[in-house]
Amino acid sequence: MNYSRKMVELLLTQKNIKLHELFSSESMIKEIAQQSYFRFEEWMLLIKYICPQDTISIMNVYAPNVNQVDDICDAFEYATIYEKLELLEKLLALHKERESLREWIVVYEITFQVLSGSMSLKQALEQVKYQYSRLQHPITRMRLQLIELTTNFKLGNVRNALLFADQLQRDLMKLNPCYTKSVTASRLLLLMGLRKLYGEGNASTAEEYLQAVHSIKVAPEPVRASSYHALSILYSKKNKEHCWAYSKKSIIHAKQAELRDYIRALEYHKVPFIKNLHGEMFELNNTIPIEEHIHQYVIRNNNETALNLIHKLENEGKQSPFMLYYKGKATKDANLLMEAIMSFSTNGRADVVPFIKEDIAAL
């Protein structure tokens, strides 16, 4: 649905609510939630259209006060995708005795334990396999499938993470429209785009999936941030302006979602990497990872310093595909660069391979 201002105003008129009243007070937000004036997805669209910068503060009030089963299920999903652990824990405590939500409690208990660090990723996979045959509702079974996909991806099994993506897509199509369905669709598109980019190095197909994320009106800010970040990586070398534009969009959406650690990773890790790719010289500091210090010294043609740092890290038992790549660049050793290609390919970072091939061709 295209939520133009006219359509938003029409929706509010139907509910006898004026635009300026919508988010005017906590009591108003609670009333809207408790009285189910809007479906959860409609409410998220209104926030996105009117005041996306206030999503978190509004939803902290709204989500615990919804009382329709469908809205509660969507509230679980909201708290999960935005990684709001206090809210998710509160929702689980509020609704754990409701028999109609028993399967959702099982699924989001697993999610909460993973996000809070009390369950390992491998334990999560075991739980998913154990619970899958015990759950009957198509949405809860689908959510277990999604946990399996995302967990495999986090474990570095990029090539295998979406083996069942086609089945998940088919299952998704059978569901009635709801916020959870829309969020899952956006996450699946993101994961498919990441697989194509990082797992296969297929930039053109990856871009199609990553752009498709933003066609979903309620695609959550964390998913949008990840999509734009991947697009910035995709354009790292071939279009500097596009690369920085997508990087800025990624940071904007991450800030709206209050993903502070993610923002720091973007600003302190990814930005220096992109600058180094373009051969830019910049001031080094302790916020920048040591690998990008090494990369910057190579850019400055200070290869001796770069190699000294690499040898120091190697003596400490530290290895990574990036270290191998930068060692190959510093020594201008084609064999090392070929090893780096193999290392990135087997570690789910096929997107870096074209950069290394350019460096080999330039020797």
Angle at 264 (CA atoms; ends 259, 270), nearest 5 degrees: 115
pLDDT mean over 45-56: 88
* Phi, psi (deg, nearest 5) at residue 119: -135, 130
For residue 2, the model assigns a pLDDT of: 46
* Span of 59-63, 158-162, 272-276 with lowest mean pLDDT: 158-162
High-pLDDT (> 90) share of the chain, %:
75
Average pLDDT of the chain to the nearest whole number:
91
For residue 3, the model assigns a pLDDT of: 47
Q: Are 137 and 171 in contact (CB under 8 A)?
A: no
For residue 161, the model assigns a pLDDT of: 62
pLDDT mean over 42-68: 92
For residue 22, the model assigns a pLDDT of: 85
Q: Tell me: pLDDT of 162 over 70.
A: no
Q: Tell me: pLDDT of 230 over 50.
A: yes
How far is it between the farthest Cα atoms of the chain? 71
DSSP at 99: G
For residue 159, the model assigns a pLDDT of: 61
Angle at 48 (CA atoms; ends 42, 49), nearest 5 degrees: 90
Residues in Cβ contact with 171 at an 8 Å cutoff, skipping those fewer than 6 apart: 138, 141, 142, 145
Q: Tell me: pLDDT of 169 over 70.
A: yes
Integer distance in angstroms from the first to the last C-alpha of the chain? 53
Q: Tell me: pLDDT of 227 over 60.
A: yes
* Span of 8-17, 104-113, 171-180 with lowest mean pLDDT: 8-17
Residue 48, classified by CB atoms within 10 Å of its CB into exposed (0-12), middle (13-18) or buried (19+), is middle
Cα-Cα-Cα-Cα dihedral sign, residues 10, 15, 16, 21? negative
For residue 18, the model assigns a pLDDT of: 78
pLDDT interval class at 45 (50, 70, 90): confident
pLDDT mean over 159-180: 80
Q: Are 353 and 201 in contact (CB under 8 A)?
A: yes
Q: Which residue has the higher pLDDT, 196 or 152?
A: 196
Residues 184 and 179: their CA atoms lie apart, in Å, by 8
Write the single-letter amino acid at 339. Answer: E
pLDDT interval class at 1 (50, 70, 90): very low
Name the token pair of 226.
Answer: 């990840």
pTM for the full predicted model: 0.90
pLDDT mean over 275-295: 94
Q: How confident is the model over 85-143, as pLDDT tens digits?
A: 999 999 999 999 999 999 999 999 999 999 999 999 999 999 999 999 999 999 999 99
pLDDT interval class at 9 (50, 70, 90): confident
